[in-house]
Amino acid sequence: MAPLLKVENLRIELTTRKGVAPVIDDLSFELGAGESISFVGESGCGKSMTALGIMGLLPEKIGRIASGSITFNGEELTTASDKRMRDLRGNEISMIFQEPMTSLNPVYTVGEQIAEVLRAHQGLGRKAAWEQATELLDAVRIPNARGRVGDYPFQMSGGQRQRVMIAIALACKPRILIADEPTTALDVTVQAQIFDLLNDLRRQTGTAIIMITHDMGAVAEMAERMIVMYAGRNAEQGPVEQIIDHPRHPYTRGLISCVPHLMKVLTEERHTLTEVPGIVPSLSEFGRDQCLFASRCPQVTQQCLDKRPPEMAFADDQRSACWHAEDI
Amino acid sequence: MRDSTVDSPLVEVLNLSVRFPVKRGGAFGRTSYLYAVDDVSFDIRRGETLAIVGESGSGKTTTALAVARLVAACDGEVKVAGQDFLKLDDQALRKARARLQFIFQDPYSSLNPRLRAEKIVREPLDSMETVPAADRQGIVDKLFKAVGLHPEQQRLFPHQFSGGQRQRIGIARALATQPELVICDEAVSALDVAVQAQILNLLKALQAEFDLTYLFISHDLGVVQHMCDTIAVMYMGRIVEYADRLSLFNSPKHPYTVALLSAVPSVDKERRAETRRILIPGDPPDPVNLPPGCRFANRCPVAQDICRQTDPALRSLPSGHRVACHLVSEDGTPPLTP
């Protein structure tokens, strides 16, 4: 079966004062219907840019898709008209953002904001849209939905606002939901509720989820496959469990071991955290014909500095862009 | 015979409360009080780390601010090395503050953008005047080295540093007056994971090198687990559970702690397989009109009538673990397990 979303050799360029930089550099991946995939990596590695590229929301005049293709359900999105993209956004692909505090309009009630989507995309009347907005609030588990639908965003907690965002995103039963750090601003108990909600909705509606995060634990809970991004490139991708058990890229390994995780049983012993020294390279270094992780890598060799590593394939479609992937 | 100053805790906090006035109902409304910190007691032994965890709004930061007298406590005692902080007059307080420093969450807004890095680190020395002016540059040099910055970076301004480097400057500034207690308020929360590891390792190394005592505030239980010796769980201004690191993480007693730990996503396959996630529905009650019983009762999956009627006190279990829950049995059996 053809995948729902297919991204091939995608290159997105940003024009900065210092010149043109490839913020996404030769990225390929597939997403099946109802599948859950996660993008991980530090800030500035291109996770959000990938999402904006898919949504057709790259910053105007600054960002553009330079080459490659994005096909959704067999339809090419990179050449689609603005009108067609507007139709797809919200209807077929929707997105929720990190900041539930700022992504809602403070002067409209949450009911109006959910109903607006239904009226714009599904041509519902005022009353029918309001009715359905109430049902959606109930579906995202806001208690007493009928009483809360007329509330303004400031009357809700952070977790409730994020649920409203999810209700808006799911209003038209999209095939793909992109969640960009959906729980970063929320408490861990609220995060657990949101994850639970997203998983249930995925089961019920068959919506595929692309989640962007920096938390490996969240990836392990939520996704089937993951893509580790570094400096605009795919560092490694494959099944989540397999990558956590046996990462094939030093960056993935660093990301997993630099975080103190809660384990089943805690012991007296505490290791020094593995450090990934340095920081993500600046945009001006993106696109060089070398491994961009080389300056931070403990296993760097001359080869890494001379030539960009190709993707090496392993079992179950685990792929790593590292010259030394086989030895790791 | 053991030296009693080594044995006694560096920080002793007893029945600390902080309240804020809240006016409701317009101009003629009555003023009521919100207890952001309500009867909180803990102590920290020299060279150790106490972590305070809890959701936003639970009173973690207010507790830390009250310890440093950056907000006024309405009741209680805060003793640092035997000296009661809350009773000091302004002049004595200024002097005493040298023993206690803060590391803040946001490395972007906590450094003055107009000052060079060396001046930022030097400022506490100039202000406290604890060392002669001639010696101060030497101390700044040492601090830059200790936090892993190059000497030539002293001349740079904050915007020329990355987030992790800025946090290093903030740490150097905190250590300038040779404090005994360092309060880390979400000190690594704003950093990327790889940089976070660098700063956590640095904090650990500095603790060993300078014999520092940390009050470590964080919402990230993985980080807390790595850093702390003792841990206090706060909920709505109260400490609901207080124990050493291993007993808290391996055998939590309070239903809130159990739910909190179960909510943390983990890469550990065994932990994921064996931890039932306990969802706590709803929101905390209105902090101004608290219910008569336990503050967690309305969200607690195992709450009984007694929980809704009587406020549970923090009591000690035979293991030394302290917990504020009616339903934890005398021998410490928790009412809820993940």
pLDDT tens profile B130-151: 889 999 999 999 999 999 999 9
Q: Using the structure block, give the residue that is written with the tokens 């993106």.
A: A286
Residues of A in contact with B223 (CB under 8 A): 260
Residue B334 has pLDDT above 50, yes or no: yes
The CATH number, out of the four listed (3.40.630.10, 3.40.50.300, 3.40.50.2020, 3.10.20.30), of the domain defined by the range A5-84+176-327: 3.40.50.300
Distance, in Å, from the CA atom of A309 to the CA atom of A324, rounded to the nearest integer, reads 9
Among A38, A186, A189, A282, the strongest candidate for a mutation testing the B interface, having the largest count of B CBs within 10 A, is A189
Buried-state track A279-301, b at ≥16 Cβ within 10 A, e below 16:
bbbebeebbeeebbbbebbeebe
Query: Which candidate from A193, A262, A274 shows the least CB-CB separation from B264?
Result: A262
User: Per-residue DSSP letters for B182-246?
Assistant: EEEESTTTTS-HHHHHHHHHHHHHHHHHHT-EEEEE-S-HHHHHHH-SEEEEEETTEEEEEEEHH
In B, minimum Cα distance to A272 occurs at B201
Tell if the CB–CB gap between A272 and B204 is shorter than 8 Å.
yes
Q: Does A269 touch chain B (CB under 8 A)?
A: no
Domains and CATH numbers, chain B: 4-235 (3.40.50.300), 249-338 (no CATH)
> Token pair for residue B90?
């302004």
Residue B180 has pLDDT above 80, yes or no: yes
Query: Which candidate from B56, B219, B225 shows the least CB-CB separation from A262?
Result: B225
Reported ipTM exceeds the 0.85 cut: yes
| Closest by Cα among B292, B232, B226, B201 to B52 | B232
Of the pLDDT bands very low, low, confident and very high (cuts 50, 70, 90), residue B6 is low
| Average pLDDT taken over every residue of chain A | 92
Residue A1: the pLDDT is: 66
Q: Is residue A274 a contact partner of residue A216, using CB atoms and an 8 Å limit?
A: no
B36 vs A1, residue with greater confidence: B36
Residue A293 has pLDDT above 90, yes or no: yes
Q: Does B106 touch chain A (CB under 8 A)?
A: no
DSSP A154: G
Among B193, B221, B230, B286, the strongest candidate for a mutation testing the A interface, having the largest count of A CBs within 10 A, is B193
For residue B126, what is the enclosing H or E element?
helix B117-128
Q: Is residue A223 a contact partner of residue B186, using CB atoms and an 8 Å limit?
A: no
Q: Strand order in A75-76's β-sheet? A: A19-31, A5-16, A63-72, A75-76
H-type alpha helices, chain A? 47-55, 82-91, 110-122, 126-139, 145-148, 158-170, 188-205, 216-222, 240-245, 250-257, 302-306
pLDDT tens profile B296-309: 999 999 999 999 99
* Residue A112 CB contacts under 8 Å (≥ 6 apart), including other chains: none
Query: Which candidate from A188, A258, A266 shows the least CB-CB separation from B264?
Result: A188
Map out the domains of chain A as residue ranges.
Answer: 5-84+176-327, 93-171
Residue A159: the pLDDT is: 85
In whole angstroms, how large is the CA radius of gyration of chain B?
A: 21
Q: Is residue B181 a contact partner of residue B80, using CB atoms and an 8 Å limit?
A: yes
Residue B285: the pLDDT is: 85
Residues of B (271-310) whose Cβ lies below 8 Å from A: 271-272, 274-275, 277, 279-283
H helices, E strands: number in chain B: 12, 12
Residues of B (189-208) whose Cβ lies below 8 Å from A: 192-198, 200-201, 204
Tell if the CB–CB gap between A214 and B223 is shorter than 8 Å.
no
